[in-house]
């Protein structure tokens, strides 16, 4: 009986270990998305904002002439780029919040429920 109980516990621990590795992989992906989001947001803001603003600002100034004299071309370009970066950030945030397709520790939960049923039946 002791050997059977020992094998039973070892099997449950092995199952929990396998599912913990799966959960760690999922958390690793989420952490990677977070790091990529942070690095991408910083470099997009710093490099694209500066470069594109310099290139597009004269064209934006011409286009805004007579329509919105209160808004300089460079400011309009920066606002447009800010909106674009906000859209990218929302997409990355949605990827981070996405739930896994299968619940974590699904097999362990199912086995525990089966064990509870078995214990109820064999009382």
Give residue 123's pLDDT.
65
Please give the distance of CA 64 from its chain centroid, rounded to a whole number.
Answer: 38
Provide the residue range defining the domain that includes 37.
2-111
| Number of domains, the chain | 1
* Whole-number Å distance between alpha carbons of 14 and 11: 5
In a domain, 22, yes or no: yes
Q: Which among 116, 104, 76, 92 is positioned nearest to 34, based on CA atoms? A: 92
pLDDT per residue of the chain (123 residues) written in tens, 0 to 9? 677 777 777 888 888 888 888 888 888 899 999 999 999 888 877 887 788 888 888 988 888 888 888 888 888 888 888 899 899 999 999 998 988 777 777 777 888 888 778 778 876
pLDDT score, position 44: 78
pLDDT of residue 46: 86
Q: Specify if 51 maps to a domain.
A: yes
**In the chain, count of helices (H) and strands (E)?**
4, 0
Q: In this structure, is residue 94 part of a structural domain?
A: yes
Confirm whether 117 is domain-assigned.
no
pLDDT of residue 77: 86
Would 118 be classed as within a structural domain? no
pTM: 0.47
Concatenated DSSP letters of 1-23: -HHHHHHHHHHHHHHHHHHHHHH
Is there a contact between 96 and 41 (Cβ–Cβ < 8 Å)?
Answer: no
In-domain check, residue 99: yes
Residue 6 included in any domain: yes
Is 33 contained in some domain? yes
**Residue the block writes with tokens 């299968």:** 102
Query: Rounded distance, CA 85 to CA 40, Å?
Result: 10
């Amino acid at each position: 009986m002791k050997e059977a109980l020992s094998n039973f516990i070892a099997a449950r621990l092995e199952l929990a270990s396998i599912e913990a590795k799966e959960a760690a992989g999922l958390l690793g992906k989420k952490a990677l998305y977070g790091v990529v989001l942070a690095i991408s947001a910083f470099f997009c803001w710093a490099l694209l904002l500066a470069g594109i603003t310099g290139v597009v600002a004269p064209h934006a100034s011409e286009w805004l002439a007579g329509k919105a004299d209160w808004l300089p071309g460079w400011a309009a370009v920066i606002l447009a780029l800010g909106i674009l970066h906000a859209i990218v950030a929302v997409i990355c945030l949605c990827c981070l919040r996405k739930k896994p397709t299968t619940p974590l520790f699904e097999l362990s939960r199912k086995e525990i429920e089966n064990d509870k049923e078995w214990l109820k039946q064999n009382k």
